[in-house]
Amino acid sequence: MDNERREEAVTILRKAGFRATEPRLLVLSFLQNAKYPVSIQEIVAGMGNKSIHQVTVYRILHALKHAGIVTQVDFRHGRSYYELRDEQHDHHHIVCVKCGRVEDFVGCDYERLAAKALKQARGFATIVSHSLELFGMCNTCSKRKVRAA
Amino acid sequence: MDNERREEAVTILRKAGFRATEPRLLVLSFLQNAKYPVSIQEIVAGMGNKSIHQVTVYRILHALKHAGIVTQVDFRHGRSYYELRDEQHDHHHIVCVKCGRVEDFVGCDYERLAAKALKQARGFATIVSHSLELFGMCNTCSKRKVRAA
DNA sequence: AGTGTACTTGCAACTCATTTGCATCTAGAA
DNA sequence: TTCTAGATGCAAATGAGTTGCAAGTACACT
């Protein structure tokens, strides 16, 4: 991990009231480098020579999630995936049902959606979060499917 | 189960190429009467004197899901919930993060969303499904929270 | 820089949803 | 009524995620 990133990670942790421990810095660094949400297993496997126990990764992610530093998403793979929270863009994911490939998209129009939902669900006072995933077929798998048919 | 409903369930099953067995009819009936998505455990518990093995319920729901008769949703409770698919309305759910209460809402504007996403995710050819859940606080829990604060 | 303590980690064992193998059973076609 | 592919029940396995506890360490305070 380069020093700049490391310092950034230390700051993030301290601000949230966490100690800047080695396992936490490693997990944060891994998330910073990840292009798409990663699973606990991928994080553990990606630690290389510096091994972190799986339980520790669970606990770290649980804490970071509560602190609003990471978000958890469900791709219907029977496990959770995590990524750093992007405060600028409320982005979501589109997942290939064949190969699991993931891409981002923005524009879910959350404000309008929440307002519309609250108007219909009279028993609800507020909306605090949302989850949205699209499932589709990537170009590669799409071609393969046509050929196979 | 009244006979009308039962006949309807038999028809649904036969049309999808399934045998109209007692466990399947019971599960379908349970789903027809449910106001909101139910878990496997709720289904098993709700069978009363006619017990169905949990594994059987899993297999039935798996089959019905593939046949497009039921849909599976994730309320972040660590288990899946199922409901009959509503072909007329593409509805979604708003879930109370405190007590688990659920209400429906419509108007996710799926067509527009899918088109927008496909324009951004250049690696994807088609979108086949989507999941959307809102998480909030119901009126009761909302009041309770304020009082506690 | 040294020390103490509250916060962290690692390990083992556990919980709980979901899946699988297999023997038995049965819906519905012949 | 008979036959058989498809269903079910039971037991055991799988795998994600959690918990209790002893040992380790970041960092606040000398």
Q: Is it the case that residue A104 has pLDDT exceeding 60?
A: yes
Higher pLDDT, A32 or A5: A32
Q: Shortest CA distance to B127 belongs to which of A136, A132, A130, A30?
A: A136
B77: its two tokens: 């409770």
Q: How confident is the model at residue A147 (pLDDT cuts 50, 70, 90)?
A: low
pLDDT given for residue A146 in this prediction: 65
Packed helices A22-33 and A3-15: angle between N→C axes, nearest 10 degrees: 110
Output the CA–CA distances (angstroms, integers) from residue B76 to A24, A129, B20, B121, in the order listed.
Answer: 25, 12, 33, 26
Which residue is associated with the tokens 């660094």? A29
* B97-132 residue pLDDT tens: 999 999 999 999 999 999 999 999 999 999 999 999
Beta bridge partners, B83, equal: B71
Cα–Cα dist B120/A93, whole Å: 11
pLDDT(B137) > 60? yes
Domains (ranges, CATH) in chain A?
A: 1-85 (1.10.10.10), 88-149 (3.30.1490.190)
> Strand, helix or coil at A58?
helix
| Closest CA–CA distance from residue B10 to any residue of chain A (Å) | 30
* Residue at token pair 């989850």: A131
Res A4: pLDDT = 79
3-state secondary structure chain B: CCHHHHHHHHHHHHHCCCCCCHHHHHHHHHHHHCCCCEEHHHHHHCCCCCCCCHHHHHHHHHHHHHCCCEEEEECCCCCEEEEECCCCCCEEEEEECCCCCEEEEECCCHHHHHHHHHHHCCCEEEEEEEEEEEEEEEHHHHHHHHHHC
What is the H or E stretch that residue A141 is in? helix A139-148
Say what the pLDDT of residue A23 is.
97
* CB-CB neighbours of B147 under 10 Å: 7
How many Cβ contacts (< 8 angstroms) between chains A and B?
Answer: 132
Q: Does the pLDDT at position A148 exceed 60?
A: no
Q: In A, residues 62-121, which contact B (CB 8 Å cutoff)?
A: 74, 76, 92, 94, 96-97, 101, 103-109, 113-114, 116-118, 120-121
| pLDDT of B48 above 60 | yes
- pLDDT class of A46 with cuts at 50, 70, 90: very high
Q: How many residues does chain A have?
A: 149
Smallest Cα–Cα separation from B37: which of B90, B103, B87? B103
Residue B147's pLDDT band, with cuts at 50, 70 and 90, is: low
Q: CA-CA distance, B122 to B124, in Å (whole number)?
A: 5
- Residue B61: per-residue pLDDT: 98
ipTM (interface predicted TM): 0.91
Q: For a pLDDT cut of 90, what percent of chain B falls above it?
A: 89
| pLDDT for the residue numbered A1 | 47
CA dihedral A111, A117, A120, A126 (to 10 degrees): -80
Residue position matching structure tokens 């419509």:
B106
CA of A16 to C1' of D30 (A): 26
Which of A4-8, A55-59, A105-109, B66-70 has the least mean pLDDT?
A: A4-8
Through-space separation of residue A19 CA and nucleotide C5 C1' in angstroms = 14
Q: What are residue B2's phi and psi, to 5 degrees?
A: -70, 155
pLDDT over 70 at A149, yes or no = no
